[in-house]
Structures are given as structure tokens and as C-alpha cells.
Structure 1
Amino acid sequence: MTDLATEERADEAGRDIGVPEEPAYAWAPAEPRPRKSRKGLWIGLTAGIAAIAVVASSLILLAPGTAVAGVGIGFLTPGAAVDTIRQRLADTTVVITGEGGDAVVTGADLGASVDAEAMVQAAYAEHPLWNVTSWFPESTAAAVTIDEQTATSALRAEAPQLYTDPVDATLAFDETANAYVAQPAEPGTGIDVEALRAALEDAFASGQTRVEIAPSTAPVDAELPTYVAESTADRLNTMLATAGFYVGDERVVPVSPAVAASWLEVSPSGEGTFEIAADAAAIGKIVPTLAASVDRDPVKAVVVTDSSGEVLREVTPGVSGRVLGETNGIADEFAAQLATGDARYQLPVKETDFATTALERRVEVDLGAQTLYMFENDAVVRSFPISSGLAETPTQQGHFRVFAFVPIQDMGCFPGAPYCTADIPWVAYFNGDQAFHGAYWHNNFGNPMSHGCVNMPIPTAKALYDWLEVGTEVWIHA
């Protein structure tokens, strides 16, 4: 028998129910392989990274408990530590009690600062986080500095009643003394900034963020102190003493102190000094008068020489001629120069050389004629009779030079001398102890009379004495 259900299915499928159907086979789909769990790996990586981070941070952080001037900087990087220290100091409050009326300023108002970088570097070098043996060290002190100008400005604004203004030194030209005179400065008073700084430093070192102090006072210097005014007065008075228009070292046009002072304006510079300015227009009024004092003709030089041209004496010094140069711009240039403290203005001039006249002088004594001749440039300018040495004490012949002058002296007045003549005037030696000189004991000139000297009337001897020079050539011949 055929199973009814089978038949029914065969009928429904339109198949021949009389033919049995071959069995059919199919593979069941493979089940997926179980996935490996990576949870342990991720947990390990995270822990490793965390461990590296901890180690790395320990290398750049400060140890716990580290403090500078009472400011805790533990577990901070050096950069953050520097900022923390600076901020704490800037925020520290100072209350000025008493007459100050409880004025309040901060470290920032006072321009307070510490060398935070250096302190943090030192702290980090000794107390890094990784070195557990350096944890919780004692706090280190900090030196606080204050910007005095900033602090004074803030304190004056908060407690003006604690300040009296100083009086600056001044300068003025005294017409009676013809000089600049300094008026001394007078100091003011104000809060002692150093005492305030010390109080702020103590408070900061102890970790306080607020400190109250009763202020002490200190002198407040003037912006223009007395010594500046006095030194400027000295400088100005030196200028007044030398003021003028110069050619080289010659002050050809002096400027009086009163006139020079009238050109100058001396005022505070705003930087604790005095500023000097000069009025170019006032200087310009004197410029047109300069040529009259500067221009001059050359002056000829006159010299005495020997026969070889060697100068024995300058009779008249030569002076170069000169003419004032371009005057445009002198007033402005001198004004600018005065502002620098230099009152010696060098004028532009054109110079011309001077000529020189040489007087070649020599003396000739003719023993045969008993006459002396004075030559100048080979011309006899004067001749007169003389008395030379006697036969037993002759005047020596030859070429000599004058070498010494004595206005009056005794001759031969020593033990054993054959003669003694006192007060012989106008003596000019030319050969050992032989000389030209005046004779008052005879009037027999034109004949030998002496012990070897060449003597002549006293007025004539004076004229020769004044005409001769050391080195004048002398020729004695028969």
C-alpha cells in the first residue's frame, strides 16, 4: 500500500505516484569559527600607556610638598610653577594703616617681582616627582624686588596725604656776578618703599596673601638735584669765560658773559638734567661786525742773522694776513655748538703768508785805524773810534763770535791782578776775557789804551751792546 499522504503529495506535485523518487542529499552550512577575544590585549596596552604616562609625568613634575616662599608648587610643571609663584605675588595685598587711611595696594600695583624661573629651576633640580626621597621639602625663601617708580606712583595715588613734593634745583644768570648761580633743591617726603618691600617679602615668604603695615617715611629726592644744578652752572660759567669767535687759539672777537648769557636758554630737560639752547637770531646780529676784527694785512718778520743766514734773533715776529671767509650759516652753527657746551667758535678765514727781512750783522775792528765798523747786509751802518789793547797787552786778531753779555762788572779786581777797574758798563765778550765795553776813565779814543779789550765811550758801548746778538761775527785785524 501506498502511503496516503505520499500519494496526496504526489498528486499535488503532478508526479507519477507509481514511480518511487530518488533520495536527495544536501550539506548543512558550516558553523562560524568562534572569534578570539582581544580584551586582555587592550587592557594590557592601556595599562602600559598609563604606566609610561606616569613615568613621563614624573620626569617633568615637581615633587609633592614642594613650595617656594610659601607657594605650593607640588605636582606642577616648571612652567606652571613659575606662573603660580608670580600670580601669588601679584595678588598679595598690602594694607597701609594709620595715616595712610587703610590704603590698599597689591604686589602688581607695586611692580613687585621675584626670580621665579631661577627658583623653580633650583626646586625642580632638587625635588623632581620621580625622586620620592625629595618629597615634602622645606619651603625656600624668595627675594622680592619692587619697581620704585611704579610703587611710588601707586602709593601716591592711594595715600597722597603721606607725600610732600620736593622742590627742584634751579639755575639763573646773576648779572652782578656775571655768572650762573644754582639754587639748591629741597627734598620732599614719602613712604619708605624699601621698608614696604621688606614687609611684602616677609609676608610672601610666610605664605601670607595680606599684610598690614604702618608706613615709615623717607626723603624723596628732587628730579633736579642740587649737584646737577651746580655742575651745570660750572659748565655754563666755563662757557661764558671762553665765549667768542676764534681763529686758531686766538679769540679775535670776545663775547662778554652777559651777552653770551643773553643768547642762552637753560631749562629742565625732563630727564633729571638741564637742557641748553641758543638763539641763532641774536647771534646773527653780531656776525656782520666780525670782518672788522678778523681781517688784517700781513706783518713782515725781521730777523738778525750771521753771514751764513742762521737766525740769531727775531726782531719782529711775522704775522700772517687773513680775510674772513663765508659767513652764511655762522649763527646757526654757533647756536648748535653752544647747545653742546662749546662756546669757542672757529671762524672760517683765508690766510696769506708774511715776508721776512733778514738783517745780516757783523762787526769789524781795524786796529791800525783804531776804528770799529758795524755792518748790516754788507753796508756800514755806523763806525766810531775805539781804544784797543796796548802793545804789551794787545787785542788778539782773528775771527770770533760774541758769546756773553754783562751789563756792568768789575775787571781785574782779584789778588795778583795788574789792575782793578770797577763798574765797567755794557760788556760784550767775543774772545775769552776780551770784550767790547764802555770806558769812563779816559777820553783818548782812537788810540790803544786797554789791557786787550776794545773800549769806547759809554753811550756808544750801550748802542753796540743793544745791537749785538749772541753769535754775531767779529773780525779783528790790523
Structure 2
Amino acid sequence: MTDGANGTDANTAAHGTAATYAWAPAEPKKRKNRSGLWIGLPAGATAVALIAASLVLIAPGASVAGVQIGGLTAGAAAQAISTRLDQTAVTVQSPDGEITVTGAELGATVDAAALADQAFSENPMWNPSSWFPEGADIAVDVDPSVAASVLHDKLPGSYQAPVDASVAYDEGSQAFVTTAAQPGVGIDAAAVTSALQAAFDEGSAATTIEAQVVPIAAPVSTEAADAAVAKLNGILDTAGFYVGDERTAPVDRATAASWLSVAPDGDGGFAISADAAKIQPAVDALAGEINRDAVNASVIVDSAGETIHEQVAGQTGRTLGDTADIAAAYATQLTEGNGAYALPVTETPFETTTTERRIEVNLTTQKTILWQNGEVYRTYTISSGAGDHATHTGNFRIGWKTQMQDMGCVPGYDWCTRDVPWVAYFNGDEGFHGTYWHNNFGTPMSHGCINMTIPQAKELYEWAYRGTEVSVHY
């Protein structure tokens, strides 16, 4: 018989006796130990919280300019950095006494947020290898105007204010002129700034320096004023209303200057402004200066149609366009330094009338004929050169002209005629001229010139412009 455990009694078996079997009572089941679960839950939650915190905190030991930021969030670190800078104090010893100023009073700032973000990025708590990094320094930015103001207020005896350069219109020279800047003196603000930077870098809450009185440049320099003057005078040089490249309606310098205002711009330079209301009267008068009818041209041409003289210059007609916005637009343009305003104009072209003129000299008939547009305009009986002085044949053009001249009255000539009138040369020393010493026209009589009566010579002189063709033939 086998027991419930399928085993034999070991003692009985050893003595060779019959075994006695009995059911043994079942052992009670052990209760599961849940203490570990109850204890582990808070520990796990803490671990999760620590992990979460490590994801937003800066590593232990991190510092910026002596400010300990380890274990802080980036936002808290930025606040700590800024607070330290605000509270850093500089004691300034000067000839006028001793004062203490803080970073906050000097207008000092740092980009604390960017630095804190960088510290967390490079040294997060979750990365143990980044713990206890070396400290980092950052540049302190001090507003020069704030620093100068606070030092001036606390040490007024050490200051003499600089005088800014200025710009004004001078009626005598009709130009804008510069009044040069004058430097002042005061406490060396740069030395104070450097001391603040050094103290902040070292993590010191306070420092002391001996500051000297140094020259202080005017915020608005002479160079800035000169640049503004050059721009303003450039406006005056070109001020006016233009049609194309023509300054059709000039604006005098004093008037243009009265439209302009110039003042410091707050950044060390000058701002130019213009008053559209003052410009408007000039705009209202433009139509009378701009509008005009076209004028047709009249020109004298040669047989090839080339112009040899302009009798009447052609001129396009003009009509001014809409002027409603010109004053405002010009005011804006002047602030940019441009004094030339291009007007909206409609132009009407002109026509050109041509008149062809040429002169013919017939040595056989002893005639001079003026041709105009292919028709005979005048015919004169003349006296050409005689004998060895015969007038040369060929095609020439009128060149030099003079109303009166002595002829032959120089060494080398065996004759002299005074006060020869209405001379128009066409071939060297051969030309047309009036004649008072003979009346034998129709017969060669001259030393090569074309002799004419004085009224005829005057008419030809006034009719034939330089460049007029002259044909001499038999």
C-alpha cells in the first residue's frame, strides 16, 4: 500500500519490519509577502520624479560668472544670473569724491536666458558626465547713455557737458553749414564698465576702481553734421521740377531751404524732413511754367537734305498731368536727399519744314543764280575773275563770312581795296562781295572773286548760310 505521497517509511524499511502509513495533515499555505510592493510604490514614484526633474535641470556644479546654477531650471538660472549682475557694485573713486553704482543703475544687461539655455544644453542633469563643469563667462552689455547719466548725476563736479554739432541754413552763402561739435569731460565710463565686467566674471559682489576724468565726445559729431550738410546742399543744387533732363521749373535755394527741416535723429545723425504744405504753392504754379504749344522747326538744307542752318528751332508741346499728389511725393523724395522731381507730362511732337538752298555761278553768262527748293529765287549779273585771275570752276561751299574787309592790302599783293562789303568766301580767297569801284557787271573784271552790286551782295550774304553749296562752271 502506498501513501498519499507515494513514499515508504524509511525507518521501517531499514529494520525490515512492516511499514505503517498515515495521512499527514497538509501544511498551511504560506501567505504572499506584499510588503515589497507597498514599499516599492513610493520609491518608484520618487525615481520617476527624479528622472523627470533631471530632464529640465542643469547639472550640479554648473556656474556662470560665479553664479551657481546647478540644479536649477534654465528659467531660474537666467533669473539668478540677472539678479547677480544687477546687484554687483562698483565703487568709483574720483577727484570729485567716491560713489558706488550697481549693475542695475548702470543699465547693465546680459543675455541670461540664452546662456542658461546653453548651460542646460551642454550640462543637463540627466548626463552625469557633464556634472561639475567649468564655469563660463559672458559679456556684460552696458548702455553708454545710462551709464554716463548715472555717473553724471552722482559726480556732477567731474562733468562738463559736450556740445553737439549742429546744422543750419546760412542766407549769406545760400547753403547749409555745420557748427562743429565741442567735446566735454567726465568720468571714464568705459573704466567703470570694465570694472563691472571684471567683478562679474570673478563672481565678486563688489569692486573698487580709481576713475579718471577723460574727454567725452559729443553724441552728434562734426562728421555727422558734415554728411547732413552735403546731403542738404545736394538738394539745393538740384531742387526743381523736371521734364526729362531739363529743370523746367527751378526752385531757388532759399525757397527749397524753407521747405526743409533738419534735426538730430537720436542715433548720432540727422533726420531731414520736408513740409508738403509749403511745397504746394510751387506745385499750384506749375501749369503756367510747363504747359506750352508745339513750335514747328524750320531748317535750311543742302541738295542732299542735310541741315546747314536752323532758322526756327522746333519745340515739343507739353501738358502737365495730375498734380494732386506731387507736393506729398516731393516732400518724401526730399527727405531721401533727391531734389529733382520728375513731372508727369504729355508731350506733343513738332513738325519740321525744310528749305533747300544752293548757288550756281555761270561764268559763260556771267550770272549768279540762287536756287530755293528747286526754283530760281534770284538771278544776278556779276563780274568774275579776268585773265590770269579767272575764277576757278568746281563745287564748293560757303565758308567764312564777314560784313566788311580790306582786300589785297598786305605784302605780296600789287593791289589794295579798302572796306569791301558783304564778303562770303567759297573757295580759298575767292568769294562773293559787294563792289563800289566799278559798274561794269556782265564782264570779267576781278582778281578771282564774284563782283556784285552792294545790295545784291548783302542779299546773298544774308540768304546763303555757311555750308551752302556753290557750283561754278562755264
| TM-score under structure 1 length normalisation | 0.68
Structure 1 CA distance for aligned equivalents of residues 329 and 260 of structure 2? 14
| Alignment equivalent of 2:92, drawn from 89, 96, 100 | 96
Structure 1 CA distance for aligned equivalents of residues 235 and 276 of structure 2? 15
| Alignment equivalent of 1:236, drawn from 232, 235, 239 | 232
* Residue deviations 1:298-355 (CA, integer Å, cap 9, x gap): 4442211134534333233122345666666666665565555444455666655444
| Alignment equivalent of 2:274, drawn from 270, 277, 287 | 277
User: Alpha-carbon deviation of 1:373?
Assistant: 0.9
Q: Does the aligned pair in 2 maintain the 1:386–1:447 contact within 8 Å?
A: yes
Name the aligned partner's letter for residue 379 of structure 1. V
* Residue deviations 1:169-212 (CA, integer Å, cap 9, x gap): 33333333333333223334444332222111211222211223
Give the SS at the match of 1:171: strand
Structure 2 CA distance for aligned equivalents of residues 458 and 169 of structure 1? 77
**Structure 1 gap segments, 5+ residues each:** 1-29, 412-418
Aligned residue number for residue 304 of structure 1: 300
Query: Residue 305 and residue 258 in structure 1: after superposition, are their counterparts in 2 closer, same or farther (change >3 A)?
Result: same
Aligned residue number for residue 3 of structure 1: none
Query: Residue 384 and residue 336 in structure 1: after superposition, are their counterparts in 2 closer, same or farther (change >3 A)?
Result: farther
Give the SS at the match of 1:151: helix
| Alignment equivalent of 2:426, drawn from 419, 425, 428 | 428
Structure 2 CA distance for aligned equivalents of residues 328 and 56 of structure 1? 69
User: Alpha-carbon deviation of 1:32?
Assistant: 6.7
Is it true that 1:402 corresponds to 2:400 in the alignment? Answer: no
User: Alpha-carbon deviation of 1:163?
Assistant: 4.2
Aligned residue number for residue 317 of structure 1: 313
Is it true that 1:379 corresponds to 2:384 in the alignment? Answer: no
Is it true that 1:368 corresponds to 2:352 in the alignment? Answer: no
| Alignment equivalent of 2:167, drawn from 171, 174, 186 | 171
Equivalent runs, 1:219-258 vs 2, <5 Å: 219-258=215-254
Structure 1 CA distance for aligned equivalents of residues 472 and 248 of structure 2? 50
Equivalent runs, 1:343-354 vs 2, <5 Å: 343-345=339-341, 351-354=347-350
Structure 2 CA distance for aligned equivalents of residues 324 and 117 of structure 1? 60
Query: Residue 382 and residue 316 in structure 1: after superposition, are their counterparts in 2 closer, same or farther (change >3 A)?
Result: farther
| TM-score under structure 2 length normalisation | 0.69
User: Alpha-carbon deviation of 1:214?
Assistant: 3.3
Structure 1 CA distance for aligned equivalents of residues 282 and 201 of structure 2? 70
Give the SS at the match of 1:102: strand
Q: Does the aligned pair in 2 maintain the 1:389–1:454 contact within 8 Å?
A: no
Name the aligned partner's letter for residue 187 of structure 1. P
Aligned residue number for residue 29 of structure 2: 33
Structure 2 CA distance for aligned equivalents of residues 40 and 286 of structure 1? 98
User: Alpha-carbon deviation of 1:360?
Assistant: 0.6
Structure 1 CA distance for aligned equivalents of residues 79 and 351 of structure 2? 85
Q: Does the aligned pair in 1 maintain the 2:166–2:225 contact within 8 Å?
A: yes
User: Alpha-carbon deviation of 1:156?
Assistant: 4.6
Taking every aligned residue pair, what percent have the same amino acid on both sides? 40
Aligned residue number for residue 192 of structure 1: 188
Is it true that 1:111 corresponds to 2:108 in the alignment? Answer: yes
Query: Residue 262 and residue 366 in structure 1: after superposition, are their counterparts in 2 closer, same or farther (change >3 A)?
Result: same
* Residue deviations 1:92-123 (CA, integer Å, cap 9, x gap): 22333443542332357522315674587479
Structure 2 CA distance for aligned equivalents of residues 55 and 295 of structure 1? 85
Name the aligned partner's letter for residue 111 of structure 1. A
Q: Does the aligned pair in 2 maintain the 1:110–1:154 contact within 8 Å?
A: no
Query: Residue 163 and residue 392 in structure 1: after superposition, are their counterparts in 2 closer, same or farther (change >3 A)?
Result: closer
User: Alpha-carbon deviation of 1:406?
Assistant: 9.2
User: Alpha-carbon deviation of 1:35?
Assistant: 0.9
Name the aligned partner's letter for residue 85 of structure 2. L
Give the SS at the match of 1:231: helix
Query: Residue 264 and residue 118 in structure 1: after superposition, are their counterparts in 2 closer, same or farther (change >3 A)?
Result: closer
Name the aligned partner's letter for residue 383 of structure 1. Y
Q: Does the aligned pair in 2 maintain the 1:304–1:359 contact within 8 Å?
A: yes
Report which stretch shifted further, 254-263 or 284-293: 284-293
CA RMSD of aligned residues (A): 5.2
Structure 2 CA distance for aligned equivalents of residues 202 and 353 of structure 1? 77
Q: Does the aligned pair in 2 maintain the 1:388–1:447 contact within 8 Å?
A: no
Structure 2 CA distance for aligned equivalents of residues 126 and 265 of structure 1? 57
**Larger Cα-atom Rg:** 1
Is it true that 1:358 corresponds to 2:351 in the alignment? Answer: no
User: Alpha-carbon deviation of 1:359?
Assistant: 1.6
Query: Residue 236 and residue 34 in structure 1: after superposition, are their counterparts in 2 closer, same or farther (change >3 A)?
Result: same
Give the SS at the match of 2:311: strand
Is it true that 1:209 corresponds to 2:205 in the alignment? Answer: yes
User: Alpha-carbon deviation of 1:129?
Assistant: 7.7
User: Alpha-carbon deviation of 1:380?
Assistant: 1.7
Name the aligned partner's letter for residue 402 of structure 1. R
